[in-house]
Structure 1
Amino acid sequence: MAESSLTDRRPAATGKPRFETLDPATGRPGRSYEGHTPDEALAIARQVRAAFGEWRRTPFPERARLMKEAAAVLRRRQADFAEIMTSEMGKLLADGRAEVEKCAFNCDYFADNAEAFLARRPVDLDGSRAFVTFNPLGTVLAVMPWNFPFWQVFRFAAPTLMAGNTAVLKHASNVPGCALAIESVFREAGFPENVFRTLLIPSAQVKALIDDPSIAAVTLTGSVEAGREVAAAAGAALKKSVLELGGSDAYLVLEDADIAQAAKVCATARMVNGGQSCIAGKRFIAVRQVREAFERALAAEMETYLMGDPRDPGSKLGPMESVKARDQIHEQVRRSVERGARLLTGGTIPDRPGAWYPPTVLTDVRPGMPAHDEEVFGPVAAVIEAKDEADAIRIANEARFGLGSGVLTRDPARGERIAAEELESGMSFVNGNVRSDPRMPFGGVKDSGYGRECSDFGIHEFVNIKSVVVTR
Structure 2
Amino acid sequence: MEFKSINPYNGTIVGTYTAETDEGVSKKLDDAEIAFKSWRKVPLQKRAEMMVKAGEILKENVEEYAKMISLEMGKPLSESRAEVNKCATVCDYYAKNAEKFLADEIIETDARKSFVRHDPIGAVLAIMPWNFPFWQVFRFAAPTLIAGNVAILKHAPNVFGCAEQIEAIFKKSGFPEGVFQNLIVHHDKTETIIAHDATKAITLTGSERAGAAVAQISGKYIKKTLLELGGNNAFIVWDDADIDKAVATALKARMLNCGQSCIAAKRFILMENIYEEFVSKFTVAVKNLKSGNPLEDGVQVGPLARKDLADQLQEQVRKSIEMGAELLLGGKQNGAYHEPTVLGNVKPGMPAFSEETFGPLAAMIKVKTIEEAFELSEQSRYGLGVTVCTTNIEKALEYAGEVSDGAYFINELVKSDPRLPFGGEKRSGYGRELSKDGMMEFMNRKTVYVK
Same fold (TM over 0.5): yes
| Secondary structure of residue in 1 paired with 2:339 | coil
| Secondary structure of residue in 2 paired with 1:367 | coil
Aligned equivalent of 2:364? 383
CA contact (8 A) 1:251 1:281 kept: yes
CA contact (8 A) 2:418 2:434 kept: yes
CA contact (8 A) 1:27 1:355 kept: no
What does residue range 63-212 of structure 1 map to in structure 2 within 5 Å?
63-212=47-196
CA distance in 2, matches of 1:123, 1:437: 30
CA distance in 2, matches of 1:46, 1:371: 46
Amino acid at match of 1:439: R
Following superposition, which runs of at least 4 residues in structure 1 exceed 3 angstroms of deviation? Answer: none
| Secondary structure of residue in 2 paired with 1:247 | coil
Aligned equivalent of 2:398? 417
Q: CA RMSD in A?
A: 1.0
CA distance in 2, matches of 1:422, 1:290: 23
Number of aligned residues: 451
What does residue range 5-44 of structure 1 map to in structure 2 within 5 Å?
17-44=1-28
Amino acid at match of 1:389: I
Pick aligned residue for 2:385 from 404, 417, 424 = 404
CA contact (8 A) 1:263 1:298 kept: yes
Matched, 1:345 2:329: yes
Aligned equivalent of 1:3? none
CA distance in 2, matches of 1:423, 1:300: 31
Amino acid at match of 1:284: F
| Secondary structure of residue in 1 paired with 2:234 | strand
| Secondary structure of residue in 2 paired with 1:443 | coil
CA distance in 2, matches of 1:127, 1:290: 62
Once the two structures are TM-superposed, the CA of residue 190 in structure 1 deviates from its matched residue by 0.7
| Secondary structure of residue in 2 paired with 1:167 | strand
Unmatched runs of 5 consecutive residues or more in structure 2: none
Aligned equivalent of 2:316? 332
Matched, 1:393 2:374: yes
Amino acid at match of 1:469: Y
Could you report, residue by residue, the CA deviation over 1:188-215 in whole angstroms, capped at 9, with x for unpaired residues? 0011111000000000100111111110
Aligned equivalent of 2:427? 447
CA contact (8 A) 2:111 2:450 kept: no
Amino acid at match of 1:75: K
Unmatched runs of 5 consecutive residues or more in structure 1: 1-16
Once the two structures are TM-superposed, the CA of residue 395 in structure 1 deviates from its matched residue by 0.5
Amino acid at match of 1:42: S
CA distance in 2, matches of 1:68, 1:88: 27
Aligned equivalent of 1:6? none
Amino acid at match of 1:110: Y
Once the two structures are TM-superposed, the CA of residue 246 in structure 1 deviates from its matched residue by 0.1
Amino acid at match of 2:252: T
| Secondary structure of residue in 2 paired with 1:466 | strand
Amino acid at match of 2:412: G
Amino acid at match of 1:322: R
| Secondary structure of residue in 2 paired with 1:216 | strand
Aligned equivalent of 2:437? 457
Aligned equivalent of 1:360? 341
| Secondary structure of residue in 2 paired with 1:453 | coil
Higher mean C-alpha displacement, 308-317 vs 197-206: 308-317
Amino acid at match of 1:385: K
| Secondary structure of residue in 1 paired with 2:357 | coil
| Secondary structure of residue in 1 paired with 2:314 | helix
CA distance in 1, matches of 2:73, 2:23: 29
Matched, 1:221 2:235: no
Pick aligned residue for 2:45 from 50, 61, 83 = 61
CA distance in 2, matches of 1:267, 1:76: 31
CA distance in 2, matches of 1:377, 1:315: 20
Amino acid at match of 2:320: S
CA distance in 2, matches of 1:268, 1:75: 24
Pick aligned residue for 2:241 from 254, 257, 268 = 257
CA contact (8 A) 1:247 1:448 kept: yes
Pick aligned residue for 2:355 from 348, 369, 374 = 374
CA distance in 1, matches of 2:246, 2:68: 34
Pick aligned residue for 1:432 from 394, 409, 412 = 412
Once the two structures are TM-superposed, the CA of residue 127 in structure 1 deviates from its matched residue by 4.5
Amino acid at match of 1:425: D
CA distance in 2, matches of 1:386, 1:140: 45
CA contact (8 A) 1:249 1:282 kept: yes
Could you report, residue by residue, the CA deviation over 1:9-40 in whole angstroms, capped at 9, with x for unpaired residues? xxxxxxxx211011111122222111202221
Could you report, residue by residue, the CA deviation over 1:244-268 in whole angstroms, capped at 9, with x for unpaired residues? 0000110111111122221111111
| Secondary structure of residue in 1 paired with 2:338 | coil
The two structures have a TM-score, normalised by structure 2, of 0.98
Could you report, residue by residue, the CA deviation over 1:388-407 in whole angstroms, capped at 9, with x for unpaired residues? 00010011011100001100
